[in-house]
């Protein structure tokens, strides 16, 4: 059974930082591209960042470029999202996702989803 378990969410003031982690089990980690999506209250889920299977290619939404960094540790079956310079509009539930390729994860082609972790940014 595939599981993607997110952690690291919480409350932070604007300008602060958080690092999200997603631990994967039940799948061949190196064979999967990974990504992060988020859903704010009353809005649709949107793409945030993705990373290719080997970690050489990364993709970001324009709204988080230069503030967020996605990385992966294939030895630990874990993907991370370092979030800096957080803004109130970053408030959302953040979901980890796995798919075949970084580019297709970016486009929403997802095989597995985590249950999400809440990030709240106050002004």
Q: What is the pLDDT of residues 11-48, one digit of tens each?
A: 999 999 999 999 999 999 999 999 999 999 999 999 99
pLDDT at 101: 85
Going along the chain, which residue ranges are E strands?
A: 3-7, 10-13, 18-25, 33-39, 46-51, 58-60, 68-73, 78-83, 92-99, 112-113, 117-122
Share the mean pLDDT of the chain.
Answer: 96
Percent of the chain with pLDDT over 90: 91
Q: Is there a contact between 69 and 121 (Cβ–Cβ < 8 Å)?
A: no
Mean pLDDT for 3-17 is 98
Its sign, for the CA torsion 101, 107, 112, 113, is: positive
Beta bridge partners of 113: 97
């Amino acid at each position: 059974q595939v599981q993607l378990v997110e952690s690291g969410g919480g409350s932070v003031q604007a300008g602060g930082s958080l690092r999200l982690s997603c631990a994967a089990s039940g799948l061949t980690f190196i064979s999967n591209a990974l990504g992060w999506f988020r859903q704010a209250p009353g809005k649709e889920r949107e793409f945030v960042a993705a990373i290719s299977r080997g970690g050489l290619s990364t993709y970001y939404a324009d709204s988080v470029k230069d503030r967020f960094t996605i990385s992966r540790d294939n030895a630990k079956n874990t993907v991370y999202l370092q979030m800096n310079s957080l803004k109130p509009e970053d408030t959302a539930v953040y979901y980890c996702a796995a798919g075949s390729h970084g580019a297709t994860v970016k486009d929403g082609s997802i095989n597995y989803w985590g249950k999400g972790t809440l990030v709240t940014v106050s002004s």
